[in-house]
Chains A and B, each alone.
Chain A
């Protein structure tokens, strides 16, 4: 039974005191955010799944620390981001697995198949998505992270500064550089097609 009445700080406080149901509720509330962020960075369902599980296990291990944490969301996403960057670095040596829906687990494939889109929409979205992914992959990890967190996931610059543990000015500068590079890459591709 989900405890929807409690706010996040209340849940964090209960969990820090040892309430296991509060932890389960925190997992339910934040699992999608962690998955989405991890998937944006790693571009792989299995890796994103690993990040989700490992992030919450790490949170559980640091249960007592949580009493002193001001913003749980920032703390959680920082763990997820750091673990994703670690995985990204590990995977860099290996050839990148181009994931299509057939490599996803059966239950995930079934869910994705239920979402009906027109073939042209699907094609256009897939083409643009692939272009953006390639362009993002060319960016250094910090700039890539900043662009994903701000422009894809919609976090504010203050939140990103907390997640990436850097000054807000650095976030602004990284975002500007990332956007300029992405614009150039996309512009160059469009020119070549024309």
Chain B
């Protein structure tokens, strides 16, 4: 064995990691070689110094106090973890409450929309009903009502105009308020 082969193995020899045969060969080289022997002794010396540099034990009282502190901290952690579980339940409960509120709002809006739809359809029906009845009034001959068929009272045009006036303006009592009522009737397209 030469120095090139021996030097990289010196630390393994110090750490007792070499097989017996190689240990014997290396030791025989170290005995013959000053340079390698110095390297080997320095490594052993360094290991000794380092191993002596162990930390002094701070003592039983320190350990008792520190262990109590650690256990107190971990107990606190466990308590916190338990408390942490409660808000999770509350949060879950809160979510349910929010969903319920949203659902009730949606239900209210739906009911309102349905009510509006029903209301609007009823109005339409009323109008249809009103329009359906209107021609009856318009086409009724006043002579039939007065039972004076032989004597013409109003012309057919007059009856239509009267009927429209009643339709547009309401009860006959209000007719007197409009001085230009006859002009208004004339402007209406009879088609």
Interface residues of A (CB under 8 A from B): 20, 23-24, 27-28, 31-32, 35-36, 39-40, 45, 48-49, 52-53, 56-57, 60-61, 104-105, 107-108, 110-112, 115, 125, 128-129, 132-133, 147-148, 151-152, 154, 175-176, 179, 182-183, 186-187
User: Which of A36, A115, A151, A183 has its CB near the most chain B CB atoms (within 10 A)?
Assistant: A151
Contact for A112 among B59, B63, B69, B71, CB less than 8 A: B59
Contact B62 A183 (CB under 8 A): no
Residues of B within 8 A of A40 (CB): 53, 55
Q: Which residues of B line the A interface, CB within 8 A?
A: 11, 42-43, 46-47, 49-63, 65-67, 69-71, 73-74, 77-78
Q: Roughly how many angstroms separate A39 CA and B58 CA in the complex, as a whole number? A: 11
Whether A107 pairs with B67 at a CB distance below 8 angstroms is no
CB pair A147 B50 closer than 8 Å:
yes
CA distance in complex: A125, B51 (Å): 12
* B55 & A39 in contact (Cβ 8 Å cutoff): yes
- Chain A residues contacting B11 (CB-CB under 8 Å) are 175-176, 179
Instruction: Contacts A35-B55, A152-B50 given; indicate if A111 touches B62 (C-beta within 8 A).
Output: yes
Known: A27-B71, A179-B46. 7 other contacts (CB 8 A): A31-B63, A35-B58, A111-B60, A111-B61, A132-B49, A152-B50, A182-B50
CA gap between A23 and B70 in the complex, in Å: 10
Q: A111-B61, A151-B47, A187-B42 are in contact. Are A128 and B74 (CB under 8 A)?
A: no
Q: Determine if B58 and A31 form an interchain contact, defined as CB atoms under 8 angstroms apart.
A: no
Cβ contact of A128, chosen from B42, B52, B63, B73, cutoff 8 A: B52
A175 CA to B42 CA, complexed, in Å: 15
Assembled-state Cα–Cα distance A53/B46 (Å): 32
Q: CB distance B43 to A111 under 8 Å?
A: no
Q: Name the B residues within 8 Å of A36 (CB-CB).
A: 54-55
